Amino acid sequence: MSLLIEKIEHHFGTKTVLHNICLEVHPGEVLCLLGPSGCGKTTLLRLIAGLEEVQSGRILLDGRIMADGHQQLLPEQRGLGFVFQDLALFPHLTVLENAMFGLVGMKDPALRRSKALAALSRVNMQDHAGVYPHELSGGQQQRVALARALAPDPRIMLLDEPFSSLDARLRVQIRDQTLHVLKESGVATVMVTHDPEEAMFMGDRIVLLREGRVVQTGTPVELYSRPSTPFVATFFSEVNTLYGTVSAGRVETVLGGVDVGNLPDGARVTLMFRPDAVQVSTSCTSLGRGQVVAAKVLATRILPGATLIHLQLPDRSTGNNVHLHARVPCVSPFPEGETVALHVPGHLMHVFVN
Amino acid sequence: MNFWKVTVVGIAALAAVPVIVIATFLFTPSLDVWRHLASTVLPHYVFNSLALMLGVGAGTMVLGVGTAWLVCMTSFPLRRFFEWSLIIPLAIPAYVIAFTYTGLLEYGGPVQSFLRDSFGWRSATEYWFPQIRSLPGAMLMMTLVFYPYVYLLARAAFLEQSVCVLDAGRTLGHGAWGTFLRVALPLARPAVAGGVALVLMETLNDFGLVSFLAVDTFVTGIYRTWLGQGQPAVAAQLGSVLMIFILALILVEKRSRRGRVSHTTGYYRQIRRYRLSRPKAALAFCVCFVPVLFGFFIPVAAMALWTWQTWALVDARFFVMARNTLALAGISAVLAVAVAVILAYGRRLSPGRLTSFAVQMASLGYAIPGAVIALGVMLPLTFVDNMLDRVAMNLFGVSTGLLLTGTWTALVFAYLIRFLAISTNTVEASLQKVTPSMDGAARTLGLSATQTLRRVHAPIMKGSLFTAGVLVFVDVMKELPATLMMRPFGLNTLALRSYELASDGLLKESSSSSLAIVVAGIIPVILASTLIARSRPGRNTSQ
């Protein structure tokens, strides 16, 4: 079951919301469409579902054309599952009736019923089969929506911000369950989200969109550790940013010289590195052979799973102070006001030509 | 232009015909007519209409806001009963309450007879008794049946107010009364203005009450000049002036909707009601009891008694009339719901400014008095009829007579224009319950568009469609001016019969028809009051 999207362009009036989108979803894969609101990710999902008409480009499922600029399969002919942002459970039907709703092709009611129940038990909602959606909690409703979409064994699952209606704690729990259910069923999945952490949690691969264009596609590791643009780098976490000019393949910064490969002399570059790339120590020797600079600890804050250290370094070229964040994976032993040693490994430094 | 746009705009254009016809008279004034009107009846009409608006507006505002505040914010005996029962006077048409109170309070009625017997007076010269058939009498009776509009909207506004805002008022040093005046009332002002605007529209629309009490207003003027003196053009001139009043009220009402305060906090808690001292609680009880007693229980009791006394009149002819009424109301209700469904789907499937504007135009009739709509429908129909007649005469040498004028079709068309807003609002509200993603869900789950309509839309909306039908049904039953002015030959309805018997002075005899109308009128009131019982924000957290 693979989905192929070729050269999709889409306009709302005079506004172009999608530019030349090409991507492929492999069988059993969870692909996340990630991007800030208004980047066109939901439109792309609705185009795949057939809820929006393709204006130009093609969408193929298992080599069969779902839609191109001339013909469209209706949504009901595509055999896919869609979980909506507002879940869209039918309020006049019970949980079981909701789950049975998509089993239109099955003639035998007993079979339909057992299949719907099986789908409900996959999300552990079989005990609530007889109640109406409004009697359920938000997390339960979400699970029913997932079961309803999965029940007809869709060839592909489409999820539009499926966890956005849940509060933070529940969201973590439900998305974990959802991932397990999707992986067990082995269905190819496209999920839309604006939350990078959610995309990294759920996605085998991530497609990062911005203003209707694909910025970068890859595994979460690739996007996180090899961002192609400053936008990608900053989208996944807070970053420290330094600026400099290339001279003989190196850029001088407050952290010392950084190798930038074969960039031409005089090129102005932006250097980005994540707070967790910064190594901090009280003594220079423990940081190994790399370049080490001294910095003052401004403040230390303990956060879940890490300690955030605010550091201040003098920039001799400008005479100003540079402010950096470091994130170290322990309760920090560094008292405020103390001078510490810093090192940022060169391979964790992302270099972008301006 | 797709199918939906064309259909919706077409319906709106048809519905706007009477308004446009009458409005054109405003721009083509004939000076002779005006001079005549201005020197004779116009000042009188203007004075009475304005006085009625002022009196009924003030009366309903005080009564509506006062009872709403007491019911929402204080606790006193039978408060929960009053919460819903305060709206039941709405079930009684204004003309019915006029007949009943005239019957009770006129010289030969039970009240004055009782006074004479008790005090030994022998004639009207020996004592003073307020004249019921007068301007103040009209104001009082209209206030009794129209205040629920203000009550409903004011109550909703008070309930919406976050308790925090009111508590803040208290902590900042204002007492209960001060908080009411300085916080609650200003916050509720747009809603109250909207309610009063509705009341004033009803006041201007009324024909039966003012004509029976001999208080001449625009509407009675239209009736008299058109059907009494046979001068439809003059009647239309009057109607066009009335439209200016209406337009002002529509603007007030629209503004009040926009001006409704958005509350900064969604924090609702069970309102901590003011505990009233014993005398104050007794006073609050009386304030709420009096309108319900005089606006509903006394008139209904009187009508029930008189119906009993004149039971012989509930004969075969009565049932023919009742059947006519039901048929007329039933046809109108079904059509009104059908048209409303078309309008609502048109706006959903082909959204845009044009369709929104068209739907609003189609819903304009709720503000236009029935008499004006009747005139606005009859004038063009007569024109078309005459033209058809002339064409037929010239071509075939036969007279077609009046094909459309004075038919059920014309009358039902007028009802549709007048009451389309009611069904449209209800249907649109229920269609919103079917979110666009439910459509999407049904389609991706393998249903076609038609199947989606049948299996998702229909079951979710059917209750509301029924409600919409009932609301229109009852309003058509109660409608008097358009029915009277456009009645097809030989048609008699409960409202017409009640009005005609009362006009002939047979008040007791008219009460059986009136009572039938009131009984039907209670249905929508019950619907509304069940809503009231469930309508506290923050009460239902699961939704």
Q: Which CATH number is A10's domain given?
A: 3.40.50.300
Q: Considering CB atoms only, which of B435, B443, B460 is closest to A86?
A: B435
Length of chain A: 354
CB distance from B543 to chain A under 8 Å? yes
Residues of chain B contacting residue A92, judged by C-beta atoms under 8 Å apart: 459-460
Q: Do A105 and B440 touch (CB under 8 A)?
A: no
Q: Is the pLDDT of residue B260 over 70?
A: no
Q: Which of A182, A206, A235 is the last residue of a domain?
A: A235
What is the per-residue pLDDT across B271-310, written as a single tens digit (0 to 9) for each?
A: 667 777 888 888 988 989 999 999 899 999 988 888 888 8
Q: Is the pLDDT of residue B214 over 90?
A: no
B161 DSSP 8-state letter: S
Q: Is B331 left (phi over 0), alpha (psi -120 to 50) or beta?
A: alpha
Torsions phi, psi for A343 (to 5 deg): -150, 135
Q: Is the pLDDT of residue B192 over 60?
A: yes
Q: Give me the CATH number covering residue B491.
A: 1.10.3720.10
Q: Is the dihedral of CA A262, A265, A267, A269 positive or negative?
A: positive
**HSE on the CB side for B273, CA within 13 Å?**
17
What is the per-residue pLDDT across B5-15, written as a single tens digit (0 to 9) for each?
A: 888 889 888 88
Q: Is the pLDDT of residue B254 over 90?
A: no
pLDDT above 90 covers a percentage of chain A that reads 50
What is the per-residue pLDDT across A10-26, written as a single tens digit (0 to 9) for each?
A: 998 888 999 999 999 99
Q: What is the Rg, in whole angstroms, of the alpha carbon atoms belonging to chain B?
A: 25
Q: Is the pLDDT of residue B262 over 60?
A: no
Burial class, A85, CB count within 10 angstroms (exposed 0-12 / middle 13-18 / buried 19+): middle
Q: Are residues A215 and A114 in the same domain?
A: yes
What is the per-residue pLDDT across B329-363, written as a single tens digit (0 to 9) for each?
A: 889 999 999 999 988 888 888 888 888 888 888 88
ipTM of the complex: 0.79
**Neighbouring C-beta atoms of residue A136, cutoff 10 Å:** 18
Interface test with B, best of A43, A84, A94, A132 (most B CBs within 10 A): A84
Q: Are residues A231 and A250 in the same domain?
A: no
DSSP B326-371: HHHHHHHHHHHHHHHHHHHHHHHHS-SHHHHHHHHHHTGGGGS-HH
Residues of chain A contacting residue B460, judged by C-beta atoms under 8 Å apart: 90-92
C-alpha angle B437-B463-A139 in degrees, rounded to nearest 5: 40
| pLDDT tier, B531 (very low <50, low <70, confident <90, very high otherwise) | low
Q: Which of A235, A269, A300 is the last residue of a domain?
A: A235
Cα separation, A260 vs A251, in Å, equals 7
**For residues B163 and B264, which has the higher predicted lDDT (pLDDT)?**
B163
Q: Which residue is listed with tokens 């979460």? A: A220
**Between β-strands A205-210 and A30-34, what pairing exists: parallel, antiparallel or unpaired?**
parallel
Segment A322-327 mean pLDDT: 92
What is the per-residue pLDDT across A119-132, written as a single tens digit (0 to 9) for each?
A: 999 899 999 999 99
Q: Which residue is listed with tokens 């054309």? A: A65
Q: What is the residue range of B352's domain?
A: 1-19+310-503
User: Can you give the pLDDT at residue A284?
Assistant: 64
With respect to residue B476, please indicate whether it lies within any of the assigned structural domains: yes
| pLDDT tier, A285 (very low <50, low <70, confident <90, very high otherwise) | low
Q: Do B442 and A101 touch (CB under 8 A)?
A: yes
Q: Do A101 and B438 touch (CB under 8 A)?
A: no
Closest residue by Cα to residue B227 from B325, B29, B374, B387? B374
Residue in chain B closest to A134 (alpha carbons) equals: B543
Q: For residues B110 and B301, is the Cβ–Cβ distance under 8 A? A: no
CB distance from B171 to chain A under 8 Å? no
3-state secondary structure of A230: helix
Q: Is the pLDDT of residue A172 over 50?
A: yes
Please count the structural domains in chain B.
1
pTM: 0.78
Segment A262-287 mean pLDDT: 84
Q: Is the pLDDT of residue B174 over 70?
A: no
User: Can you give the pLDDT at residue B115?
Assistant: 82
With respect to residue B491, please indicate whether it lies within any of the assigned structural domains: yes
Q: Do B542 and A92 touch (CB under 8 A)?
A: no
| pLDDT tier, B537 (very low <50, low <70, confident <90, very high otherwise) | very low
3-state secondary structure of A205: strand
What is the per-residue pLDDT across A175-208, written as a single tens digit (0 to 9) for each?
A: 999 999 999 988 999 999 999 999 999 999 999 9
Q: Is the dihedral of CA B67, B68, B69, B75 positive or negative?
A: positive
Q: Is the pLDDT of residue B538 over 50?
A: no
Cα separation, B225 vs B239, in Å, equals 11
Q: Which of A175, A205, A235 is the last residue of a domain?
A: A235
Q: Are residues A258 and A300 in the same domain?
A: yes
Q: For residues A31 and A190, is the Cβ–Cβ distance under 8 A? A: yes
Nearest CA to CA, how far is A149 from chain B (Å)?
Answer: 7
Q: Are residues A205 and A84 in the same domain?
A: yes
Q: Do B444 and A149 touch (CB under 8 A)?
A: yes
User: Can you give the pLDDT at residue A82?
Assistant: 92
Q: Give chain B's mean pLDDT.
A: 82
Residues of chain A contacting residue B444, judged by C-beta atoms under 8 Å apart: 49-51, 75-76, 78, 80-82, 102, 149, 158
**For residues A18 and B133, which has the higher predicted lDDT (pLDDT)?**
A18
Torsions phi, psi for A251 (to 5 deg): -125, 130
Cα separation, A74 vs A60, in Å, equals 14
Q: Are residues A136 and A11 in the same domain?
A: yes
With respect to residue B211, please indicate whether it lies within any of the assigned structural domains: no
Residues of chain B contacting residue A161, judged by C-beta atoms under 8 Å apart: none
Give chain A's contact residues with B (Cβ, < 8 Å): 46, 49-51, 74-76, 78-82, 84-92, 101-102, 104-105, 134-135, 148-149, 152, 158
3-state secondary structure of A158: strand
| pLDDT tier, A289 (very low <50, low <70, confident <90, very high otherwise) | low
Q: For residues B297 and B518, is the Cβ–Cβ distance under 8 A? A: no
Q: Which of B44-58, B76-90, B494-508 has the highest mean pLDDT?
A: B44-58
User: Can you give the pLDDT at residue B263?
Assistant: 54
User: Can you give the pLDDT at residue B508?
Assistant: 80
Q: For residues B204 and B215, is the Cβ–Cβ distance under 8 A? A: no
3-state secondary structure of B479: coil
Alpha-helix residue ranges (DSSP H) falling in A194-308? 196-202, 220-225, 230-236
| pLDDT tier, A158 (very low <50, low <70, confident <90, very high otherwise) | very high
User: Can you give the pLDDT at residue B119?
Assistant: 82
Residues of chain B contacting residue A66, judged by C-beta atoms under 8 Å apart: none
Q: Are residues A165 and A225 in the same domain?
A: yes
Q: Is the pLDDT of residue B98 over 60?
A: yes
Among the ranges given (A74-78, B40-44, B416-420), the one the predictor scored with the smallest mean pLDDT = B40-44
Residues of chain A contacting residue B434, judged by C-beta atoms under 8 Å apart: none
Cα separation, A240 vs A273, in Å, equals 5
Please count the structural domains in chain A.
2
For chain A, the helix, strand and coil percentages under 3-state DSSP, each to the nearest 5: 30, 35, 35
Q: Do B444 and A76 touch (CB under 8 A)?
A: yes
Amino acid at B484: L
Q: Give me the CATH number covering residue A264.
A: 2.40.50.140
Q: What is the residue range of A282's domain?
A: 237-353
Q: Which residue is listed with tokens 């249903």? A: B447
Among the ranges given (A85-94, A284-293, B39-48), the one the predictor scored with the smallest mean pLDDT = A284-293
User: Can you give the pLDDT at residue B543?
Assistant: 30
Q: Considering CB atoms only, which of A86, A92, A105 is closest to B446?
A: A105
Segment B460-485 mean pLDDT: 85
Residues of chain B contacting residue A116, judged by C-beta atoms under 8 Å apart: none
CB distance from B541 to chain A under 8 Å? no
With respect to residue B347, please indicate whether it lies within any of the assigned structural domains: yes
Q: Which residue is listed with tokens 């024109």? A: B383
Q: Which residue is listed with tokens 């909707």? A: B257
| pLDDT tier, B542 (very low <50, low <70, confident <90, very high otherwise) | very low
With respect to residue B248, please indicate whether it lies within any of the assigned structural domains: no
Q: For residues A197 and A4, is the Cβ–Cβ distance under 8 A? A: no
| pLDDT tier, B539 (very low <50, low <70, confident <90, very high otherwise) | very low
Q: Which of A189-203, A255-269, B262-276 has the highest mean pLDDT?
A: A189-203
Nearest CA to CA, how far is B419 from chain A (Å)?
Answer: 29
Q: Are residues A86 and A104 in the same domain?
A: yes
Q: Do A78 and B444 touch (CB under 8 A)?
A: yes
Q: Considering CB atoms only, which of A84, A92, A104 is closest to B460?
A: A92
Residues of chain B contacting residue A149, judged by C-beta atoms under 8 Å apart: 444-445
Q: Is the pLDDT of residue B483 over 50?
A: yes
Residues of chain B contacting residue A135, judged by C-beta atoms under 8 Å apart: 542
Q: Are residues A141 and A250 in the same domain?
A: no
With respect to residue B232, please indicate whether it lies within any of the assigned structural domains: no
Q: Are residues A150 and A250 in the same domain?
A: no
Q: How many CB pairs under 8 A join A and B?
A: 71
Amino acid at A309: I
Interface test with A, best of B444, B450, B465, B534 (most A CBs within 10 A): B444
| pLDDT tier, B325 (very low <50, low <70, confident <90, very high otherwise) | confident
Closest residue by Cα to residue A3 from A179, A205, A202? A205
Q: Do B442 and A152 touch (CB under 8 A)?
A: no
User: Can you give the pLDDT at residue A309?
Assistant: 92
Cα separation, B273 vs B271, in Å, equals 6
Q: Do B543 and A134 touch (CB under 8 A)?
A: yes
Chain B 45-74, residues with CB within 8 Å of chain A CB atoms: none
Q: Which residue is listed with tokens 């961002």? A: A227
Q: Are residues A89 and A155 in the same domain?
A: yes
Residue in chain A closest to B462 (alpha carbons) equals: A92
Residue in chain B closest to A87 (alpha carbons) equals: B437
Torsions phi, psi for B86 (to 5 deg): -65, -15
Closest residue by Cα to residue A349 from A210, A256, A267? A256
Q: Are residues A241 and A182 in the same domain?
A: no
With respect to residue B540, please indicate whether it lies within any of the assigned structural domains: no
With respect to residue B72, please indicate whether it lies within any of the assigned structural domains: no
3-state secondary structure of B532: helix
Q: Considering CB atoms only, which of A78, A88, A105 is closest to B441?
A: A88
Q: Do B441 and A75 touch (CB under 8 A)?
A: no
Q: Are residues A37 and A180 in the same domain?
A: yes
What is the per-residue pLDDT across A43-63, written as a single tens digit (0 to 9) for each?
A: 999 999 988 889 999 999 888
